[in-house]
Amino acid sequence: MVKEKELLLGAEVIAVAAIDEGISGVYAYPGTPSTEITTYIQQSEIAKQKKIRSSWSANEKTAYEAALGMSYAGKRSLVCMKHVGLNVAADAFINSAVTGINGGLVLLVADDPSMHSSQNEQDTRFYGRFAFLPLLEPSSQQEAYHCVRHAFQLSEDVKLPVIIRITTRLSHSRSVIERTAPVEANPLNPETDKFKWILLPANARRRYNALLEMQKQLTELSENSIFNKEITGTGDFGIIAFGLAYNYVMEINSAHQLNIPVLKISQYPVPEQKIKAFCSRYSKVMIAEEGYPIYEELLRGFFDNGKFTGRLDGTLPRTGELSPDALAKALLNKTNVTQPVPEIVANRPPELCQGCSHRDLYEALNIALESYENKHVFADIGCYTLGALPPYNAINTCVDMGASVTMAKGAADAGIHPAVAVIGDSTFTHSGITGLLDAVNDKTPMTLIISDNYTTAMTGGQDSAGTNKLQQICEGIGVETAHIHTIVPLKKNLEENIAKLKAAFDYEGVSVILACRECIQTLRRKNSKK
């Protein structure tokens, strides 16, 4: 086969590689910077021909468990999420390391250093160490392609899930990649060892011991991995570069002809012997890693002799993305090594789209709350989080997916009234339902506003699991039908909406407002296709 070249986003490369490696399904909940992986598979004609399952899941936990079920059946599955999504899937994820897998299972997690669209910049490599699982961290789009294909084979060889960690910069930048010959999907071949999958304590202990015994094998695989390699150089100073940081290091190394020796690490557990051999040859070693200083901390623990520099001692920035600029400043002792941003370029805060339904909702909400002294509004993850900014200044909190409902409940329990939660339709079905059930069971005096724009708007307009079902869901949980009200957030309905909101606030129990109006961007896309 002639190698096929394509110009693709890093996220799209992941999708292409998974298709080429014979997946039977992808499971995901949309979250930047991972969304484009699943979107690409959904739109791929090849994926359609191969009948690769690609619908969105309700949340990351359901996605991971479904992928695990496909693996149980002997087929290969890809599960995708952003870094904070793994917190949601962690229960199933950690336990799957103990059960092991049947068909290849690859977990793709896209981290977001600098928090471009996230609440934190947590590092998925912690989860890899926590679960005792192999992890691959590609340094480029081409390597990402090879990592994905290798990961499925590795998963089936060691009978464990394999993690691939990418970051925003890799996911959302383009490069030309070469594809290699695809393979066919696995046949249906369900697991025959049922006790492997039943985590009763006695069996779980046996399986956990087996996982620990495998760590030596996994480390040996890293020692010999093609993704871990040394680049020779001169001098008494070396750099250990992890994942994408390797690209940045080599850019500066080449541009300034530094000829610094580099040890590249892209497969974990870390190859201890390779690292120790490298470090023994140099009096100073810089640790360049995109994310937390995980391995800088580890290496300092190995030696504890002041040999290492990096994020912990301030040589590199402690937070945010690593960059060629940051590395150049550290290696060249220069303050300005890249072109400055022109003064004409000004930062512009994000804002709700013109015509967005959330605008009219917040206007009505602010007016409705004016007469209440002890008012607090708890918001959630979505476009409507921008209600925190002027001119609305409408919300008091935004912590994590689903927290609006349960924080409002807790605040109401403490005596705050009105305690109002604002959540989107997709986020409600992701993780707000259980909080509402708690409120119903406790007969909590709170108001839940579900801002239903019929889509998962913040990540590009993916399908929402709650579309046309929110009334029935709330009734099924136990909210009284008489206290579920629908409003249409439009200027012409302002007075009517204010009245309905006030009535909900004054009810001494659980009330729900369904604020229903289609996302303006989704509507525009629909109209453009007509």
With H, G, I as helix, E, B as strand and everything else as coil, classify residue 356: coil
- CATH 3.40.50.920 describes domain 229-332: yes
The answer to pTM > 0.85 is no
CATH assignment of 357-526, given 3.40.1190.20, 3.40.50.11260, 3.40.50.970, 3.30.365.10? 3.40.50.970
Query: Distance of alpha carbon 187 from its chain centroid, rounded?
Result: 30
pLDDT in tens, the chain (530 residues): 446 789 999 999 999 999 999 999 999 999 999 999 999 999 999 999 999 999 999 899 999 999 999 999 999 999 999 999 999 999 999 999 999 999 999 999 999 988 888 888 899 999 999 999 999 999 999 999 999 999 999 999 999 999 999 999 999 999 999 999 999 999 999 988 878 888 888 889 999 999 999 999 999 999 999 999 999 999 999 999 999 999 999 999 998 999 999 999 999 999 999 999 999 999 999 999 999 999 998 888 766 667 888 988 889 988 888 888 888 888 887 666 566 778 787 777 788 999 999 999 999 999 999 999 989 999 998 899 898 899 999 999 988 888 899 989 999 998 999 999 999 999 999 989 999 999 999 999 999 999 999 888 888 888 888 899 999 999 999 999 999 999 999 999 999 999 999 999 999 999 999 999 999 898 888 888 76
Q: Which residues pair with 107 in a beta bridge?
A: 79, 163
Which residues belong to CATH 3.40.50.920 in the chain?
229-332
CATH number of 4-213: 3.40.50.970
With H, G, I as helix, E, B as strand and everything else as coil, classify residue 240: strand
Nearest-5° Cα angle at 504, 503 to 507:
90
pLDDT at res. 298:
86
Which residues belong to CATH 3.40.50.970 in the chain?
4-213, 357-526
The Cα–Cα gap between 193 and 407 comes to 43
User: Can you spell out the DSSP letters for 184-225?
Assistant: PPPPP---S-GGGG---HHHHHHHHHHHHHTHHHHHHHHHT-
Sign of the torsion angle spanned by Cα atoms 52, 144, 136, 119: negative
With H, G, I as helix, E, B as strand and everything else as coil, classify residue 269: coil
